Structure 1
Amino acid sequence: MCRMIIDKLRRPLHDLRISVTDKCNFRCQYCMPAEIFGPDFKFLNKDEILSFEEIERLARIFSKLGVKKLRITGGEPLMRKNIALLISKLNEIEGITDIGLTTNGVLLVKQSKELYEAGLRRLNISLDALDNEIFQKMNGRGVKSDVVLRGIETALNTGFSVKVNMVVQKGVNDSQIIPMAKHFRDMGITLRFIEYMDVGNTNGWNWNQVVTKKEIYDLLSEHFTLKPVDSNYYGEVAKRYKYKDSETEVGFITSVSESFCSTCTRARISADGKFYTCLFAAKGHDLKSLLRNIDDDEQILNEISGIWQNRNDRYSDERVIGSVSSSKKIEMSYIGG
């Protein structure tokens, strides 16, 4: 039955992003601006978010629909108590071949060993600047880049495969493009430049703040020789390059200037169990109620299959041609990247 459903899917579903909390220890302008997410902001209550058992059950169902990759996100996922226990449970699911976790790195020094022992092997770490003054301004909490760099060093020493993500904003941290490239090239770590996106409704996004992949590539080419790298799999969103005479890669996430809607194989689950077929969606599908009211996994599987098969979202395509709706979009802090 499951094999038949997978074969019928108009677009493959290989990659599931699971947000385990809406809380974060940063208040960065990109996804959690301080003027919105201040000290009085009301986050989700414990009973509103999916339990580990519910997340594990969902992951098993999605694996039967063809999902092979899981990414644990937030908010900041390392703020979820006993997150390593969830990792160990997800690692036992048949068909799941790759589990990653996206983090700002602040808690890695304390948690790296436990996460590795639970079976996690891959980390995406967010760092938008090496310069402390710029980074402190961006994270809204006065956290120095040194703290994240220590987390990265700890993760590498523990044995993790690490990629660093940098969201580039014109006039904010674009001066850090070359310093970041040099630093992580020398460390042998893949750095991925992410175009500043209009996720959510609170980050004050406009086109003038976007530094495109072409602009970043042209700047890098003044300092380095880059050669393109073939995609690893269908639906890979990063456009990848290698530095000359090096195996170290640099990548670009081009959601704004070069849409990849047509090959998207990625779905998202929010911390409170909403199913989103697009990062820029205005509305999610309530899976939490299904989990808490239906014992038959196959019935839930059929519901999810129907949602995915009937998806027609292509927000990034529509943005390019100027036909996006004014609908309120889900916040990045709520759904993860």
Structure 2
Amino acid sequence: MGGPVTLTDTFGRVHRDLRISLTDRCSLRCTYCMPAEGVPWLQKDSLLTTEEIVRVARVAVEAGVSTLRLTGGEPLLRPDVVDVVSRLSTLIGPDGPPEISLTTNALALPRLAQPLVEAGLTRVNISLDTLRQDRFVALTRRDRLDDTLAGIDAAVGARLAPVKINTVVMRGRNDDEIVDLAEFAAERGLHLRFIEQMPLDAGHTWDRGTMVEAEEILAALTSRWELTEMPGRGADPAQTWLLDGGPTTIGVIASVTRPFCGACDRIRLTADGQLRACLFARTETDVLSVLRSGASDAEIDAAIRRCLLGKKAGHDIDDPGFLQPSRPMSAIGG
């Protein structure tokens, strides 16, 4: 293929991380993601096939992508998820095979963790917003806390490392559990990352004024531990601290109040074959049609680069003219 090897946007950011949504469907109904009745699911014939996913990933890996993150919806709802991981693990880029990770609600990990490891999965990010059963039911509209905790144990038992826990902090709903969740992670050797709530809900009810900011999260943590900021963040969305000198680390993903757009190296592929240069993008590049028109690898590569040409310097959440993406998080892929 012609052109530069790396996937670079107009601001010089080199993209090494491809987030691949395997499905828009989910087994939970988290309040900050979708309404109780769910959202209209994508039609089956509009979803990328496994062959199409692997082909786009191969072109991206050959152009320098070194991390493939499988997302959803809930990626473990895809019946052939183990086969997808197995096939992606055979790809080879300029620096060798990519790292393959997965973001999940963990409900299916007791059954799938070991097969996924054997297929080539290296690590997982698991969503856990509360340790209290009544709150879990209220936040997810499903009584599945015990299943989530069992999934976390299965990930640890399968030697996925690190096992990262993602917690969206919400005022009046779980912000009083910041210390409890950190202690839970520390006791189990998990890597916890607190996340500022972002405007990605299907109902567009997000309110910047009521969001729990990074400073409040850090204040809660410093009431219990001494925090030491770790250097060398690079393109990692989480700013990380040691608790009482370590070894436990806690991360904070402050997409709203401390945006890290200047170091962003991520591009997203939705389950229906749309490329997105930013989680908050309002435009997409259609690679599904390119794939199904009999395109060459060079044309797929060109579509990826075309998407990156439209990437903005930042997401502009704090700009008065900011408009929330029309798609909710479940349809974009995290």
TM-score bucket of the superposed structures, by smaller chain: over 0.9
Partner of 2:289: 289
Contact 1:283 1:329 (C-alpha < 8 Å) held by counterparts: no
Measure, in 1, the Cα distance between the counterparts of 2:74 and 2:209: 28
Partner of 1:251: 251
Contact 2:15 2:65 (C-alpha < 8 Å) held by counterparts: yes
Change (3 A) 1:336 1:198: same
Aligned-CA RMSD value: 1.7
Question: Which of 41, 44, 51 lines up with 1:43 in the alignment?
Answer: 41
After TM superposition, the structure 1 = structure 2 runs for residues 112-127 of structure 1, keeping only pairs within 5 Å, are: 112-127=113-128
Give yes or no for the alignment of 1:71 onto 2:69: yes
Contact 1:281 1:329 (C-alpha < 8 Å) held by counterparts: no
Contact 1:268 1:278 (C-alpha < 8 Å) held by counterparts: yes
Contact 2:274 2:284 (C-alpha < 8 Å) held by counterparts: yes
Change (3 A) 1:244 1:207: same
Secondary structure of 2:267 counterpart: strand
Change (3 A) 1:154 1:87: same
After TM superposition, the structure 1 = structure 2 runs for residues 150-189 of structure 1, keeping only pairs within 5 Å, are: 150-161=150-161, 162-189=163-190
Measure, in 2, the Cα distance between the counterparts of 1:283 and 1:306: 12
Give yes or no for the alignment of 1:52 onto 2:54: no
Contact 1:201 1:328 (C-alpha < 8 Å) held by counterparts: no
Say which is worse superposed, 243-252 or 273-282, in terms of deviation: 243-252
Measure, in 2, the Cα distance between the counterparts of 1:306 and 1:76: 28
Which amino acid counterpart does residue 229 of structure 1 have in structure 2?
M
Any unmatched runs of 5+ in structure 1?
none
Percent identity reads 37
Secondary structure of 1:271 counterpart: coil
Which amino acid counterpart does residue 63 of structure 1 have in structure 2?
V
Q: TM-score, normalised by structure 1?
A: 0.93
Measure, in 2, the Cα distance between the counterparts of 1:8 and 1:257: 26
Partner of 1:330: 327
Say which is worse superposed, 145-154 or 7-16, in terms of deviation: 7-16
Contact 2:200 2:325 (C-alpha < 8 Å) held by counterparts: no
Which amino acid counterpart does residue 252 of structure 2 have in structure 1?
F
Secondary structure of 1:319 counterpart: coil
Q: TM-score, normalised by structure 2?
A: 0.93
Change (3 A) 1:101 1:328: closer
Measure, in 2, the Cα distance between the counterparts of 1:200 and 1:288: 25
Partner of 1:312: 312
Structure 1 segments of 4+ aligned residues over 3 angstroms from their partners: none
1:112-138: CA deviations, max 9, x gaps?
Answer: 111111111200000000011111100
Deviation at 1:94, TM superposition (A): 0.4
Deviation at 1:78, TM superposition (A): 0.3
Any unmatched runs of 5+ in structure 2?
none
Which amino acid counterpart does residue 17 of structure 1 have in structure 2?
R
Measure, in 1, the Cα distance between the counterparts of 2:74 and 2:8: 35
Paired residues, number: 328
Measure, in 2, the Cα distance between the counterparts of 1:189 and 1:210: 25
Deviation at 1:173, TM superposition (A): 1.0
Measure, in 2, the Cα distance between the counterparts of 1:203 and 1:169: 15
Measure, in 1, the Cα distance between the counterparts of 2:8 and 2:25: 37
Measure, in 1, the Cα distance between the counterparts of 2:78 and 2:257: 34
Partner of 1:28: 30
Say which is worse superposed, 182-191 or 240-249, in terms of deviation: 240-249
Deviation at 1:280, TM superposition (A): 1.0
Contact 1:26 1:140 (C-alpha < 8 Å) held by counterparts: yes
Which amino acid counterpart does residue 49 of structure 2 have in structure 1?
S
Contact 2:125 2:165 (C-alpha < 8 Å) held by counterparts: yes
Contact 1:30 1:203 (C-alpha < 8 Å) held by counterparts: no
